[in-house]
Amino acid sequence: MMNMEDNKKQEDKKSEIDLKIRANFIREIIDDDSKTNKFGGKVHTRFPPEPNGYLHIGHAKSICLNFGLARDYNGLANLRFDDTNPAKEEQEYVESIQQDVRWLGFDWEDRLYYASDYFDQLYDYAVQLIKKGKAYVCDLSADQIRQFRGTFTEPGKNSPDRDRSIEENLDLFERMRKGEFPDGSRTLRSKIDMASPNLNLRDPVMYRILHASHQRTGDKWCIYPMYDWAHGQSDSIEKITHSICTLEFEDHRPLYDWFVEQLGIYHPQQIEFARLNLTYTVMSKRRLLQLVEDRHVNGWNDPRMPTISGLRRRGYTPESIRLFADRIGVSKSESTVDVALLEDCLRDDLNKRASRVMAVLRPLRLVIENYPEGVVEELEAINNPEDPAMGTRKVPFSKIVYIEHDDFRENPPKKYFRLSPGVEVRLRYAYIIKCVGVIKDPQSGEVTELRCTYDSETKSGSPQSARKVKGTIHWVSAAHALDAEVRVYDRLFMAENPGGENWKELMNPNSLQVLTKCKVEPSLAKAKIQDRFQFERLGYFCVDDDSREGDKVFNRTVTLRDTWAKIEKA
Ligand code: ATP
Ligand code: MG
């Protein structure tokens, strides 16, 4: 038994670790900025998703980082939709993203923005750059621009249109906006340096012509800003202090800085961190979309998906995902995190708060021959040994119960501590029983029923109940159990890093197993969609969205321990 002092020491140790986890290079930058008063001591971040898919666990890392910094530094965080590409964006995504950020426990208050809100301002900024001789209309095609760009080892070539007069540029740019030119026929480019060792600075495109309707601006525009042009200026307009993005934008930072400096506007600090990669899954939205469209999964919120909505449906808690984000921390070096770490965060959280219940996934009928017919005992069961405040409940017990098929072996291997002929086990919260007979299907030879006797002196809580037996198994009373469907999930991919071109061939064909004949204890009649439980000895489960009154559907959220390593070796 741990005494109070030990308990306290452990808690202190934990919060020490928590603080260490939280300390990261971005916080160091912010602390330095506070010392030098760089942003007047303010912290204002943003999470800028493109609404072209559902958010995934990688986005969760970014959300926890941006909103977490705002929370911890008494700052603000915005939600901004980066909706500059009218072709791939949809309202469904805009809504799911908001739902997911809120579910994770974060609040953008009244600061919900769209890059498209700034299209007018961005256009004016572009005109300013043209007037300064820092941008020009270019007639090269996309292919030609690529050819002119050069390579890492060779400088690029100037566009023949690079020295157009300011007047001509202003005229052409306005006519681009008015829709006088077909898609792809012209672009607006910034005039920087075609010989720069940084390819991002070789006169990058700022606007392209695209006659497409936009979600929010309709047909007002037929020119759309490129990401690099829209992003930093949007940050500046919103007075973002620290604009946090993933490492692949490191080489774009000089361009980010160049734009705000040329315009002479408020200058946020871009900071890059390593994106999250997770084992046994894919994370790019393009691939997740393919899984959905090709029906490899049942939608974006399929419980096997690494999407936030999939994790939610699977039974993940927002707390467990935030804990995960804290534990993995933030760094500058790319790595792949073992999905087992995510699952451990979930176990840590659910262990503290999930009610324990008894459920049998593959029922085997067990008749207690010497138990009186028609008697029902209400036995007391503990809801959560980790949390006495969660109290107890009554579980009905009677002559016929179901146990897990797997908890009986006619010919037990060594160290099999469950039920077998002539052997005693304890029925959790009930009595010690002994197997005295086995009934089989005459055709298949399959065991269909067990005959047992019980020791009436061993009722749970009585002195005799302490009698030593090797195993304790769970059960449900046949007359009282509810029928349920249980969906047992496993990893979506068999390979640790299914990143290559053959990624679809690496899908796990057994990632979903549907068990339709499960029996669960009657207290679960009250369970609501999303409620989470520990099915004793089996794992954590939650009520699926498909669940109906009298027709319960559960998802297996996670096993009790990380059993994957063992399964792989077997
Ligand atoms: P994907 O590569 O999955 O298509 P994306 O980067 O194009 O993602 P965005 O909607 O642009 O998706 O991302 C919004 C924010 O989330 C960006 O700031 C991006 O840096 C961040 N983000 C995206 N994926 C990850 C990840 N795996 N880990 C951490 N942050 C991420
Ligand atoms: Mg992106």
Q: Which of 275, 324, 328, 333 to mutate to test ligand 1, by most ligand atoms within 8 A of the CB atom?
A: 275
Predicted local confidence at residue 201, as pLDDT: 98
Q: What is the pLDDT of residue 550?
A: 83
Q: Does the pLDDT of residue 481 top 60, yes or no?
A: yes
Instruction: Give residue 96 CA to ligand 1 midpoint distance, Å.
Output: 15
7 CB-near residues (< 8 Å, 6+ apart):
none
Q: CATH class for domain 356-477?
A: mainly beta
pLDDT, mean of residues 251-267: 98
What pLDDT does 563 receive? 57
Residues of the chain with CATH 2.40.240.10: 356-477, 482-558
What pLDDT is attached to residue 569? 35
Tell me the per-residue pLDDT of 279-322, one tens digit each, with 9 for 90 and over: 999 999 999 999 999 999 999 999 999 999 999 999 999 999 99
Region of 288 please: left (phi>0), alpha (psi -120 to 50) or beta.
Answer: alpha
The per-residue pLDDT for range 357-378, each reduced to its tens digit, is 999 999 999 999 999 999 999 9
285 is catalytic: yes
Residues above pLDDT 90, as percent of the chain: 91
Residues in the chain: 570
For ligand 1, atom 23, name the residue with the nearest CA. Answer: 59
Instruction: For the domain covering 482-558, report its CATH number.
Output: 2.40.240.10
Q: Which residues contact 367 (CB under 8 A, 6 or more apart)?
A: 399, 400, 449, 450, 451, 452
Could you tell me the distance, in angstroms and rounded to a whole number, from the CA of residue 243 to the centre of ligand 2? 14
Residue tagged 């001509």 (tokens): 168
Tell me if residue 505 is catalytic. no
Q: Which residues line ligand 1 (CB under 6 A)?
A: 48-50, 58-59, 61-62, 82, 245-246, 275-276, 283-285
- Ligand 1 centroid distance, CA of 58 (Å): 7
- Rounded Cα distance, 374 and 550, in Å: 24
Q: What is the DSSP string of 351-367?
A: HHHPEEE-EESSEEEEE
- Among candidate residues 61, 80, 186, 285, the one labeled active-site is 285
Q: How far is CA 396 from the centre of its chain?
A: 38
**Alpha-carbon gap, residue 561 to 303, rounded angstroms:** 19
Q: Long-range pairs for 251-257 at CB < 8 Å and ≥24 separation?
A: 251/198, 251/199, 251/200, 252/200, 252/228, 254/198, 254/200, 254/201, 255/190, 255/192, 255/198, 255/200, 255/201, 255/204, 255/228, 256/228, 256/231, 256/232
Mean pLDDT, the chain, as a whole number?
Answer: 94
29 neighbors 69 (Cβ within 8 angstroms): no
pLDDT at 566: 42
Q: Please identify which of the residues 111, 275, 418, 451 carries the catalytic annotation.
A: 275
pTM: 0.93
**How far does the chain reach from its first CA to its final CA, in angstroms?**
36
Q: pLDDT tens digits for 539-551? A: 999 999 999 988 8
Contact 433, 454 (CB under 8 A): yes
Does 216 participate in catalysis according to the annotation? no
